[in-house]
Structure 1
Amino acid sequence: MTNGAGSRRAVAVGVTVLLLVISGCSRSSDRGVREYVDEAISGLSEGYYADSDAWDEAVEEALPGLYASDSIPDTYEALRRLTKVAGGKHSFFSTPADVAVWDQPFPPGGVPMPTVTYDGMVATVTVPGFSSDDQSEIDQYLGAAVAVFESERARTACGWVIDLSANGGGNLWEMLVAVSPLLDDGVVEAFRDRDGSTSNVVVNGNTVTWDDQEWGSLPGEPTKFASRPIAIVQSGVTASAAESVIVAFAGQEGVEAFGSKTGGFTTVNNGFELPDGAVVTLSFALMGNREGNFYQSPIAPDHDTKGAGVGALTSAKDWMADQCSDL
């Protein structure tokens, strides 16, 4: 997904990926094919859908050919297919060459950052996709979010439009932290593993935690605006980590979503690195809202604007203007 379907650093999945280096060994392309395959299968077996007959059958069918491969690169295509079986469409296998491409830093001035515009008393914050594990880039992204919410004009806005329509995903945690001033405190989201166990995403002020682990905070103390009406703008491009933002707002009072169905990458990804530097990004849980509803398909908006004659953003702003007039 992008949390990345084709993102610059897709392994950040929409989550800043936790690299689980299975054996802890150093990178080497001369290790035996069989041992390499066994490591890959062991890691893939942790995928959300890897406790199914379809997974068992796929492995049984693929193993003879994998073991007979002349070299490690010859296993990539079969492992790519098994990754989809184990983790679903949000999971993917990246070769060392793929990793080298998406591991490049953004060019100077190229870090995508949240921005805000105002139409009278209505604030529109555009939250772009963002994938990076570089701390300086993360600081820039979150610093831009602070600038959105700390101004005097932000404090006087009667309502907020969150535009996710062009956000294809990336770092789940940074996006949730970026919009934390607009989220209620408390449990905002849950993740459900394949065994049915759940863990909660919790907002406390401008800090986001998962399963009691702190995952990030906005610098300083930006004002909380969770009591203001909020309109979310989404599209078929909206995916992965951006869908997690939508899920986090689901069930919050005064929130409505506009646009069309999202991309449907509503799983949470983890990852592991193989000895030659290939990386598997693997879904391990479903996203669920604060009310305990979990998603395995595109998220429909409250107001489907496809064919309404006006764009989703215009519809959201019109709705917000009505909310503000009633305040």
Structure 2
Amino acid sequence: MRPRPIVLALLVVGALCVVFALPFLNRGERGSQVEFGEEVLQILDAGFHADTEEWKADRERYAALVERTTTREDAAQILHQAALSAGGPHSQVVPLSSGILDTPDVGEMPATHIEGGVLTAVLPPFRATDSQAEKYAQTVNTALHEPGVCGIVLDLRTNTGGSTTAMLPAVASLLPDGVSQEFVDRDGIAKEALEIRGSTMHQSGKTFGTSLLQGKVDVPVALITGPMTGSAAEQVLLAFRGLDTAASFGAPTFGLATGPEYEQVEDYVVAVSTTRTKARTGEVFGDDPIAPDVLADSDSAEASAKEWLVSRGCPTQ
């Protein structure tokens, strides 16, 4: 019967080893979270809200909260809130496995129809391959050049955003050549511009929409917006800002007219908005909703848009 106490003693010793080892393991994990947190916070320091006293206080608070965490997941959730503070709602910290950097093979295409000379194009959100982006733009561009089109309704109400490289070439024929908008940093310095040339859009040294029908379409454009209209869809809206040939109808947008930058830290993606959008009017738009020219509820927005087109001679009486 003597072996029994020996076995029990070994189990007790094993248990004690685990109990005493845990604090040291956790301390190592905490140290790891601190390093992870500081790396992310340094990225977030570039956010366009990160030059404020509020961010300085928030940064210290979030750093202290991260120091108390024991897992990457807990630290990342805290740092996600820090991202919102530093860069606004276009900023986030999410797992790489979320697919945020993935490019789908297929995207939803716009729906177009022409009635009485009025072309209505519903532009859905879009994020897919370059060839799909070209197809997206072609769908609208081809319809714009149909004979007899005298006015355009661009419906952005369900467009939560995606790729400007698909959406702006789609409507480039309706815009004047030149810089349509700029992305400016928190000091007001332009970091990048979107430029229209014919039916193409130029950004970051690249040209998008080269396969489209060229030539301008000089007709009035009514844009319909709503609370879901965001990001790239707001860039479409702002491309028409200040033009006598365009007017917007509906409800204020979501408010994501910002430019996020993406960096990978371990198995997480850090997105932080570092720029806002400067329209051709000189107005700067960020994470506040953009109000339309004419407020209208969802049921009457399209009717209001078409009434405006009539006042501009489309369809001809």
| CA apart distance, 1:151 | 5.5
Q: Judge conservation of contact 2:118–2:315 (CA < 8 Å) in 1.
A: no
User: Is 2:104 the counterpart of 1:105?
Assistant: yes
Aligned to 2:196: 203
Aligned to 1:175: 167
Residue identity opposite 1:89 in structure 2 = P
Residue identity opposite 1:320 in structure 2 = L
- Alignment gaps of 5+ in structure 1: 1-28
Among 243, 252, 272, the alignment partner of 2:234 is: 243
Aligned to 2:54: 54
Runs of 4+ in 1 over 4 A off after TM superposition: none
Aligned to 1:145: 137
SS at match of 1:116: strand
Among 285, 292, 296, the alignment partner of 1:295 is: 285
Deviation digits for residues 186-221 of structure 1 (CA, Å, limit 9, x no counterpart): 1111222012202432111122223xx234421424
Q: Judge conservation of contact 1:113–1:141 (CA < 8 Å) in 2.
A: no
Gap change, CA 1:160 and 1:225, over 3 Å in 2: farther
SS at match of 1:311: helix
Residue identity opposite 1:105 in structure 2 = P
| CA apart distance, 1:232 | 0.5
Name which one, 1 or 2, has greater alpha-carbon Rg. 2
2:75 and 2:305 map into 1 onto residues whose CA distance is 48
Deviation digits for residues 68-111 of structure 1 (CA, Å, limit 9, x no counterpart): 432322311210111011101221221234237x84736xxx62
Q: How does 1:32-181 map to 2 (within 5 A)?
A: 32-99=32-99, 103=102, 105=104, 111-132=107-128, 135=129, 138-150=130-142, 154-181=146-173
Q: Judge conservation of contact 1:305–1:311 (CA < 8 Å) in 2.
A: yes
Gap change, CA 1:230 and 1:224, over 3 Å in 2: farther
1:152 and 1:312 map into 2 onto residues whose CA distance is 21
Among 250, 265, 280, the alignment partner of 2:270 is: 280
Gap change, CA 1:155 and 1:35, over 3 Å in 2: farther
Aligned to 2:177: 185
SS at match of 1:90: coil
TM-score by length of 2: 0.82
Q: Judge conservation of contact 1:149–1:155 (CA < 8 Å) in 2.
A: no
| CA apart distance, 1:254 | 0.9
Q: Judge conservation of contact 2:108–2:124 (CA < 8 Å) in 1.
A: yes
Higher relative contact order (CA 8 A, sep 6+): 1
| CA apart distance, 1:152 | 8.7
| CA apart distance, 1:140 | 2.1
Residue identity opposite 1:298 in structure 2 = P
Q: Judge conservation of contact 1:123–1:160 (CA < 8 Å) in 2.
A: yes
SS at match of 2:284: coil
Paired-residue identity, %:
29
User: Is 2:260 the counterpart of 1:269?
Assistant: yes
| Deviates most, 63-72 or 201-210 | 63-72
- Size of the alignment, in residue pairs? 285
Gap change, CA 1:325 and 1:147, over 3 Å in 2: closer
Residue identity opposite 1:204 in structure 2 = R
SS at match of 1:32: helix
Deviation digits for residues 6-43 of structure 1 (CA, Å, limit 9, x no counterpart): xxxxxxxxxxxxxxxxxxxxxxx9x9333322211111
| CA apart distance, 1:287 | 1.2
Residue identity opposite 1:126 in structure 2 = V
